[in-house]
Structure 1
């Protein structure tokens, strides 16, 4: 026996037409002949099947009497509407359906005919509870309104997902209790209403098949594909980046549902207002393609691909609609764009600008491989979608701006992690004020009682080297120009050429003397304004023309000057700074393990660094002077390693440069204050300013009573004030000499008096440059103590 098998339910289901038969009996008793005769004839047919009134449990009865069932339901399923309405007989919240309209049949046949209509995102437990609510409403007088829309999703033969809203009509259903049903008290009903997710409680109060559902329901579907697709779009746009791995396929599926185009593809590009260009969105991680950029990352708006008509469309903030790409090319509107699309197999396209407050944010790209499937009519559907894209892109842009600002903070104006906690505390205080008071005065960030360490590795004679390379380039350029003029045999502008030749020779002779501050700029302006116009506008003979071509090919694109010597020097400087900074930054990570401290580094003509250590910077960890000693030893060893790095690097540099190293010892604790205007820390107080004065002038100082600089190549100079500092560093030096890092000779001398500062002394020692960099090993302060 083919008994009806339904999902687990509180109902025992009997498919019955008893309410419909009772309605027919009333019609048969009426005095309207044609209606009465029609009803009487149907009633006579049903008398042979008492189960039509009492309840059907065997599906064969329905299948074998399909014509009778259809005739009984004819008033509810008009033949004239069968190709328009999507309707069938059903049992509510169950998969069983029959007596479909013709349109319903066509929809089900798209995905393989089935009598099951699965409700989207609805579990069996939820369906059980929904059946229970029918009982509460019908038998216990509750007015439970389940407002969640019910949807049925099905894919058509073109692969497009369609979404249908489900509506139930329960007018022909009767709910009857059985001996198994459990009478409910008001407090039990309240407990059920308060515990929707407690399926065990619902099944306890409404045991399986403890009620009879007699009759039938009518399910009506209406096409809600567009509305549902847009809702899905909104849900996907709200997802985080980590949840958007399938963003491309999801978007395309949604847009295909809205536009009913199976091969529709979606792309997106951002507009960069600063550069007037289009770029791939950095936050979508290349999940979405771009058919305008294709394989590139960026494209200027002046590129020929966009053309004038595209530019006009963007300026007017209107979509560019290309229904037929081949026809578009024939119209000669923009052949470059048309061919660009054809190479990607695109035959029709819509490029819709996304704007907010009349500001262009980007372009959404809809493309298809079939001509005219995208056109000015269905492009109007974008009006339903674009508002959600605008809000999402604006949100993404805001998030991206915050990330960019964070990167700038980290890479350019970073607040070191060791002091970040104090800035964070002050920021929290601002947010804790009412309404983020704009008048709130931020407290200055000050750290008191900290010990400073300063060190630098400087490129020796960088200013002199730079001036020499400038002079060399200028001389070579002037020499090339003089050669062009001397080879010129033409009589055109002869007097003017002779004058210019004289002026060039005068500039050349000036370069035999020390370079003046404005010499480079003066010669550059003269060449650009006086000489280059003559070369470009004067007809040259063959020899001069060859020299002229060679001359212009030698010019640097940016400066318009000869740049060969300076380029070698600048590249050498850049390589040295980069390598030494890398060593320092890497070693600094190790130093933080000694005791967390503030660290900053600067690239100038070399690399400088400041360290500040003390309890106020790391209040969660007890500070002892041993940590300062350990950090001083670390600093000395690090400068040794940087010297060795330079020694190994020097022979491969495009311009040979030497370096000098310096450490400034300052044992008195001081205060540092964050300067809001300069966005950096500086020492605080008049007395502490002495430390900054020494830092700025010490590297140019001489040994007292001589003209010898205190710094020399391949040597480390340690400047100090007190005897205890001298003894401390002599211990470090002795230890590193024992470890074959420093040479045995130690120089000690007095430093000349600086402005407002006197009494400084220094130790100078040479680094053993025979040690391979890879073999260099740092030693701790504790190891030093063990050696003694």
Structure 2
């Protein structure tokens, strides 16, 4: 007997058989002898126990008279049906049950002695309110529908969870008011009807113990394990991509309930059609295991382990059902896959393709350590859940594609947030007008009257450093090879070795001059085709063999050449670019607060950036030149901060590299156009092209009348055309000198005439890097004005 009743209820519960006894008394008074005698005998047996009629409150009484109660209820619990029906006596909504049918007893015995049968997801407040609704329906003529499905979840000793739908029969129950029962008005009923979740209100109208529930109910259970498991599966699949709390029901337990196999294992793999491979799905806490991959993240579909049998999955889209893996593995052509499964103690399995529109999305794997546990008959259960997996996988595939497109758009063809609104507006027009009979002509995205700001921090002499490191690696490799060949004592191919030494020495001597464009490629081809074959096919003594082995271990995996000095240079370039780009991007977030503007950054041999600011980029916000002045001051300060970052970084770099900084001032507004073919913005019109010409050539320019570059390490060079620009930037410089960011000395000079461009001038000033304890603070144009005032 299960007795775990809720402690609070509007009822005083009396388990009574009075209605059944009244029915027996009627039968006893009939003239049908066998029925009458049977009823009289039962009535005589229970006569000494008035509790049967008046009401039982002590559960031990039920335990004591278990057999008599069983006989009393014999008409309601026919012996002929006891092994088929799942039925017991109960009090509705309470976890009180007794007088089980034989089938119900077996279910509970199989669940174990410690198992307490309880209604799924049923709380005490809910119990209280449903009892109140019973009263309203029975005593106040209401007809409230509260038929929420109720379930018992009962496990087996093997760990399979069965789910049972609960149906109540309340024909033998009577609800009686007490002296303390409050009157319920129609207004109360309306109030309660609109406040189902207000437990305090229900307890106020139906105080605890204010009614009597007398009698007993009958609970009948129906096995709905498969239906409930499929429902749980749908819920779990929906939670895979959502932010909902995770269900405590695992995929594996769901499939165990569906197939009724205690040791059932569930795996899953996705099919990548483009690369023809199987991969583990991204369900981090769901189905991450695969018995086919067995610990590997991905595998090509044509891997020999799968053999010919996977043609059924990949081409014919049919299930692979192996009811006896040992027998399957005994066939030579199945040996690899069979042994692969047997090593995991898999004795029967089903591999079922998940298909949408004749396209394979993935494979669901069901495995068991018991032979024949999985077979072609119970494979029919796949039909219960495969449609939901199909929908889920199709949704995942679509989401994945959208995310990939978003990543590509963000990382490779980014549309900056400041101009996104215009692209969005044009895309919306296309969406609203798109139809099979009409071709939409996209309008060009142009922003007129915008002010450009260009700046760069360039690696000083990067080409020279790159050539220098290439030559160092080539010379080191050639000298190592020469030493290897000269130390070769064998006379075998002696003349050939002499020739190769001569050729290696010739290449080495050629590297003492300027590095030609094709020298590196020539040497690489020569070493790969002429030298390495000799080394690999020549046996040397122990010492030389070790040297040869060390040589091959020193080669770069990709190029097959020495990559020591060049690697230090490349790593240094990468570190500098990354550090400086991070500063620029972080400071850009602050700059957008000044006024929304277009921003783009490029990593070359350094870091370049373009800014465009104007009313056409942010038409909803009034534009004023004050915002341009603020942005110019921000740009100058940011380059100062980037210079300081490099100065601090320099000591930790694997290769010493200096940087130079440059700002190009251009006060005339221009237009920029988005070039659809290149997926980027560019200046629009021949007049504006002068700006692009200057931008591309200015970093290599020299001071007029000299061969000195206008850019120098640890200094910022500002190139301009007009006196007004000079005066503006001298104010900024003076202000940053006051803030101890720039040194007092200012250089001013003319720039040597560029091809097609003349009249440029420049200011050059050094960044203070001797005292780096104080952080560079961002100062605005308004701060500058305040300082002057």
Please tell me the TM-score bracket, short chain as reference: 0.7 to 0.9
1:290 corresponds to which residue? Answer: 289
Alignment of 1:636-785 (within 5 A): 636-772=636-772, 774-785=774-785
SS at match of 1:615: coil
Q: Distance in 2 between matches of 1:555 and 1:117?
A: 70
Q: Distance in 2 between matches of 1:102 and 1:767?
A: 92
1:391 corresponds to which residue? Answer: 391
CA contact (8 A) 2:750 2:761 kept: yes
Gaps of 5+ in 2: 1-5
Quick check: 144-153 or 509-518, which moved more?
A: 144-153
1:33 corresponds to which residue? Answer: none
1:39 corresponds to which residue? Answer: 35
Q: Distance in 1 between matches of 2:637 and 2:500?
A: 58
Structure 1 residues 82 and 704 mapped into 2: Cα distance closer, same or farther (>3 Å)?
A: same
1:622 counterpart = 2:622: yes
CA contact (8 A) 2:322 2:328 kept: no
Structure 1 residues 334 and 520 mapped into 2: Cα distance closer, same or farther (>3 Å)?
A: same
CA contact (8 A) 1:17 1:215 kept: no
Alpha-carbon deviations, 1:697-716, whole Å to 9, x = none?
A: 11122233433322222222
1:591 corresponds to which residue? Answer: 591
1:463 corresponds to which residue? Answer: 463
2:553 corresponds to which residue? Answer: 553
Q: Distance in 2 between matches of 1:582 and 1:606?
A: 13
CA contact (8 A) 2:434 2:440 kept: no
Alpha-carbon deviations, 1:611-645, whole Å to 9, x = none?
A: 12223333443332122112212211222222222
Q: Distance in 2 between matches of 1:443 and 1:23?
A: 93
CA contact (8 A) 1:267 1:291 kept: yes
1:17 counterpart = 2:20: yes
CA contact (8 A) 2:281 2:288 kept: no
Shift of 1:729: 1.1
SS at match of 2:385: helix
SS at match of 1:468: helix
Shift of 1:727: 0.9
1:124 counterpart = 2:133: no
Shift of 1:126: 6.5
Alpha-carbon deviations, 1:6-28, whole Å to 9, x = none?
A: 965899997523896599689x7
1:58 corresponds to which residue? Answer: 55
SS at match of 2:652: coil
Alpha-carbon deviations, 1:231-278, whole Å to 9, x = none?
A: 122122222656565457533443343344566665555555666666
Structure 1 residues 95 and 771 mapped into 2: Cα distance closer, same or farther (>3 Å)?
A: closer
Shift of 1:696: 1.1
Quick check: 321-330 or 720-729, which moved more?
A: 321-330
Structure 1 residues 322 and 574 mapped into 2: Cα distance closer, same or farther (>3 Å)?
A: farther
Structure 1 residues 208 and 659 mapped into 2: Cα distance closer, same or farther (>3 Å)?
A: closer
2:3 corresponds to which residue? Answer: none
CA contact (8 A) 1:460 1:659 kept: yes
Shift of 1:521: 2.5
Q: Distance in 2 between matches of 1:59 and 1:435?
A: 77
Quick check: 317-326 or 227-236, which moved more?
A: 317-326
SS at match of 1:776: coil
SS at match of 2:755: coil
CA contact (8 A) 2:28 2:39 kept: yes
Quick check: 13-22 or 528-537, which moved more?
A: 13-22
Quick check: 258-267 or 670-679, which moved more?
A: 258-267
Quick check: 713-722 or 13-22, which moved more?
A: 13-22
Structure 1 residues 425 and 325 mapped into 2: Cα distance closer, same or farther (>3 Å)?
A: farther
Structure 1 residues 39 and 201 mapped into 2: Cα distance closer, same or farther (>3 Å)?
A: farther
**Number of aligned positions between the proteins:** 768
Q: Distance in 2 between matches of 1:587 and 1:754?
A: 32
Q: Distance in 2 between matches of 1:223 and 1:124?
A: 23
Shift of 1:487: 4.4
SS at match of 1:238: helix
Alignment of 1:529-544 (within 5 A): 529-538=529-538
Shift of 1:728: 0.9
SS at match of 1:535: helix
Shift of 1:570: 1.0
Shift of 1:556: 0.8
2:634 corresponds to which residue? Answer: 634
Shift of 1:664: 0.3
Q: Distance in 2 between matches of 1:294 and 1:329?
A: 21
2:151 corresponds to which residue? Answer: 151
Structure 1 residues 729 and 209 mapped into 2: Cα distance closer, same or farther (>3 Å)?
A: closer
Structure 1 residues 654 and 88 mapped into 2: Cα distance closer, same or farther (>3 Å)?
A: closer
SS at match of 1:105: helix
2:414 corresponds to which residue? Answer: 414
Q: Distance in 1 between matches of 2:247 and 2:268?
A: 12
Q: Distance in 2 between matches of 1:5 and 1:628?
A: 74
1:570 corresponds to which residue? Answer: 570
Instruction: Output the aligned Cα RMSD.
Output: 5.2
Alignment of 1:193-592 (within 5 A): 218-239=218-239, 241=241, 243=243, 246-247=246-247, 250-260=250-260, 268=268, 270=270, 280-284=280-284, 286=285, 290=289, 298-301=297-300, 318=319, 333=336, 337=340, 341=344, 350=349, 352=351, 355-357=354-356, 361-362=361-362, 375-376=374-375, 381-433=381-433, 439-488=439-488, 490=490, 492=492, 500-501=500-501, 503-538=503-538, 545-592=545-592
Structure 1 residues 512 and 201 mapped into 2: Cα distance closer, same or farther (>3 Å)?
A: closer
**Normalising by structure 2, what TM-score?**
0.79
Quick check: 299-308 or 146-155, which moved more?
A: 299-308
Q: Distance in 2 between matches of 1:75 and 1:503?
A: 110
Shift of 1:726: 0.8
Shift of 1:557: 0.5
Structure 1 residues 65 and 24 mapped into 2: Cα distance closer, same or farther (>3 Å)?
A: farther
Q: Distance in 1 between matches of 2:508 and 2:658?
A: 29
Gaps of 5+ in 1: 30-35
Shift of 1:563: 1.6
Structure 1 residues 269 and 334 mapped into 2: Cα distance closer, same or farther (>3 Å)?
A: closer
CA contact (8 A) 1:326 1:347 kept: no
Structure 1 residues 59 and 492 mapped into 2: Cα distance closer, same or farther (>3 Å)?
A: same
Alpha-carbon deviations, 1:415-453, whole Å to 9, x = none?
A: 333333333444444555577999444444333322111
CA contact (8 A) 2:120 2:150 kept: yes
Shift of 1:390: 3.4
Q: Distance in 1 between matches of 2:741 and 2:204?
A: 84
Shift of 1:101: 1.4
SS at match of 1:628: helix
Shift of 1:349: 7.7
Q: Distance in 2 between matches of 1:438 and 1:213?
A: 74
Structure 1 residues 549 and 366 mapped into 2: Cα distance closer, same or farther (>3 Å)?
A: same
